[in-house]
Chain A
Amino acid sequence: MAEETATPHSVKDDAELDSSPTKAADENVKFRDPLLSGFDRESDDDGMESLDLNASIKSDQTVSRSSSLIANFKLDEDADAETKDLFIVVDDPEKHTSTLESYITFRVQTKTNRSEFDGAELSVRRRYNDFLWLRQRLEETYCTHLVPPLPAKHSLKRLDRFSPEFLRVREGALQKFLTRLADHPVLSFDKNLFVFLTAKAWEFQAHKKQGSGIFSRVTDSLHNMGASYMMKNRPPEFVVMHEYIQTFGEKLGVMDRISQRILKESTEYLTELTEWAPCFMLWANSEDKLKASLLAMSKNIEECCKELKDMIDSTEDDFAQPLKEYILYTESVKGVLRRRDAMQMEYDMIVEELAKKKEEREQIKTSDQTYSIGAFLGKDPEDVKETKREKLEQQLVDLTQQMDMLNDRLVVANADLKADMERWHINKQRDMKEIFLNMAERNIQYYERCLEKWENTVRDIHPRNENAEDGIIVSS
């Protein structure tokens, strides 16, 4: 019985799916598609051997997932750079006013060699809600893939949603969203994405209306189940992922709070500094020989205020915002991990069920039906036994079929997720590096500019026409 409780992990072992994607390209020969290799466990179970391979390739979903497996394992580290063949640009926000509402659309331009895009409209206009729709469909279709997050619907600073600042930040985030999709070996081929990138306005609206309610319900229920289930059999690499994402999300949250606090104090500092400059100017009014020096101080302080304001604004845009986006991204990764857990749980439950039924079947063989209800009703105990045995056999067949299907689904999901996570880690490293490099660079620039200004001020405090040279001892 031990084999039946083995997780799909064992299958993966054989197929060497643990090898990192970087090695996959070289080890293609070792790769065995789990769907075709069957279940190489020592099994004496008749039910298992009657597996109908075709039965497992039932839905479109599974097909796309199996192709994704292959695609995933052709991925190597520089895949993005070398095989990037889909480029998307988001720009040019425009305001539209209709009778009911006003909203902003962005231009979405696509540049690609892919054949399916031949002759397609490569420049369209889309609004935020269209992006929301796209993301939702992608999540539903690929519930175990990591779909990049979208920026928040409302600005945290309660900015006017038509203000240039807000639009600039949103445009950047939408750009990143589409770029990440374009770089994804599976998601980038999605039909909905294609429609999003190419359909004309009215075509697009029509396409959107096609419902997909079933999938969303399925995802939800899976989601809920996963949340409440105590994961016992979670494969170690997913345990690691869960723990990592948990801690990473926490740390991001801490950094977000730190940056918010710094921004707050910096803004207050700027306020005080802004009040300081006029003090010197006012003083200059009652002075004669000192006038020039005081005005020099005042002017310089004003300019430092400008530099500080620039730094605060760009910290908000280039540090705080991306950090918040990553927090959202982490949340969506957690969601996908939970969905995978839910799938695993379903599978585990079936396996347990199957084991129970087999146990029952064994028991029936040796049971005495003399005191069963059927005998009580006048039936022959042997017949009762036979009926029960037949029923059980049928249940076993059904359960086995279900188990196989769930196993397939789980195997694929695990593979998808693992590949996506690895890619996610690489991107995360790159993104984090960029965010923090920018932060350091920004600070350096701020100090360099202020330094220059203060050096000028030293010169201006002592105008040349004063013979103030004598006796000035400047302490080092």
Chain B
Amino acid sequence: MADEENSPELNPEKITPEQNDVHADRAKPTTKMSLLQWMEITVSEPEKRTNASMKMQDTYIVYLIETRVTDENMKGYSDGATSLWRRYSEFELLKNYLETTYPTIIIPPLPEKKATYTWQNAPTDKFDPEFIERRRAALEVFLLRIASHTILSTDKIFMGFMQQDSGWKDAVYSTDFQSKAESKLKAISASFRLRKPDRRFEEVKNYANELQTNISNILKYRARMADKLYAIHKVHGNYARVFGEWSCIEKDMSEPLQSAGHYMDVLASSIDPMLEEEEHFADQLKEYLAFSDSLRSVCRKYECVQYDLERADDNLSAKAKERDLLVQGKSPGTFSLSGVKSKLFGSDTPEQRELKIKQLEEQIKQAEIELKQATQETQLHVQSALKDIERFKRQKTKDLQEIFTNYAIMQIKQCKKGIAIWTSAKDCFVKM
């Protein structure tokens, strides 16, 4: 995982999740550091497909993935756009592949499978057009994040996902990435049995947990608030009706009442687009909620690597100790296997001992090499992981600041709308 970056600050990983179309990067002219700088990627046009399989109907949604080279210097510029269809499960396959293949990178998360933190009017059915639309947007962000990562964007399978219509799945499986995946058992052992875990990863793990809790709480209350806000606005609509009925028995007040009633209706229906916009805010937070899983995943992978290192170290120590004992002529302890063997079958002859010592020397040499390798690998792993974690942190700060800013702007818009509606209503009341 050689690094080609000059310095972190020039990382062109500024994607803007709010926009559906990301155009080629404007700033950095010299080194093309990520795919996004010279390629345009879009996810669009969700469509329903049905597979008549033996058991039952399998209905699912596919999304259109299009790419287009935007830099005339890059290969493929004159080829025009590519397009193919992918479904959610294929995105999952891609993600799993990337996770296993790049254990030191924080892989972007996929949108949720089922709707969470919903309120009364939010769509929960996965075939609901609103839900599908939000999912489409999130899938696009997923691809854009990968494309903007210096390392991930160069992956062939990723490119194939976007451009290789047939045979992609075979290509993925042929990389045999599944075998590289750490077994769950090993991961659990690793997390418990490390002797010298790197403090920094402990901190990242704790941070990930806190992030998850914090965002969960925010999403929980937001959903409840959406509920109440919806009710408040809709109930105001009842004023429209009663004003209309009241205006029938009045003379001077009749017209102003009816006009005011109209504005109460406007108020009631104004909440729908507002809450739809707010769902977008919730989706962005949900992405970061899922990122906490990615963070933990990277930490787990470090723990496995560290576990392997410590085991290699233990192995070497054990072998060395055994050799030392043999050399010193001491018989191994009564409770070791060799001890039992010698008790039962008698001790080794000097020739046998020599042989054993030689064997051990070989094994020790091997173990030393292995330990050196493991140490090196672990070092590289740690370096790479920590670097990506730093990248993530910077991205996260930027993203979240933008998310909050957009939320504030949304609230400002809502307030302005409220002022406008009530001012109109007030103008009606003045004429009463």
- Residue numbers of A with Cβ under 8 A of B are 243-244, 247-248, 251, 254-255, 258, 261-262, 265-266, 268-269, 272-273, 275-276, 279-280, 282-283, 286, 289-290, 293-294, 296-297, 300, 429, 432-433, 436-437, 439-441, 443-444, 446-448, 450-451, 454-455, 457-458, 461-462, 468, 470-475
Contact = CB atoms under 8 A, between A and B. Distances in A.
A474 B409 contact: yes
Contacts of B393: 289
Interface in B166-224: 207, 210-211, 214-215, 217-218, 221-222, 224
B392 interface: no
Interface of B is mostly: helix
Given A276-B218, A437-B430, A473-B19, 8 more contacts: A282-B217, A283-B210, A283-B215, A286-B210, A293-B401, A293-B404, A450-B415, A451-B416
A433 B429 contact: yes
Given A262-B232, A272-B225, A451-B416, A251 B245 contact: yes
Interface of B: 14, 16, 18-19, 207, 210-211, 214-215, 217-218, 221-222, 224-225, 228-229, 231-232, 235-236, 238-239, 242, 245-246, 248-249, 252-253, 260, 393, 396-398, 400-402, 404-406, 408-409, 411-412, 415-416, 418-419, 422-423, 425-426, 429-430, 432
A474 B405 contact: yes
B366 to A, nearest CB: 45
A451 B232 contact: no
Contact of B422 (A261, A300, A447): A447
Contacts of A474: 402, 405-406, 409
B218 A280 contact: yes
A436 B250 CA distance: 16
Contacts of A433: 253, 429-430, 432
B218 A283 contact: yes
Contacts of B260: 436
B18 A475 contact: yes
A221 to B, nearest CB: 31
B412 A255 contact: no
A272 B222 CA distance: 8
Given A248-B249, A283-B214, A461 B228 contact: no
B235 A472 contact: no
A400 to B, nearest CB: 41
Contacts of A254: 238, 242, 245
Contacts of B404: 293-294, 296-297, 461
Given A254-B242, A286-B210, A472 B398 contact: yes
Please give me the 10 A-B residue pairs with the lowest Cβ-Cβ distance, nearest first. Answer: A440-B426, A269-B228, A471-B14, A451-B415, A283-B214, A447-B418, A433-B432, A475-B18, A286-B210, A443-B422
B251 to A, nearest CB: 9
B415 A290 contact: no
Contact of A471 (B229, B232, B398, B422): B398
B246 A457 contact: no
A290 B392 CA distance: 13
A432 B221 CA distance: 37
A426 to B, nearest CB: 10
Contacts of A279: 214, 217-218, 221
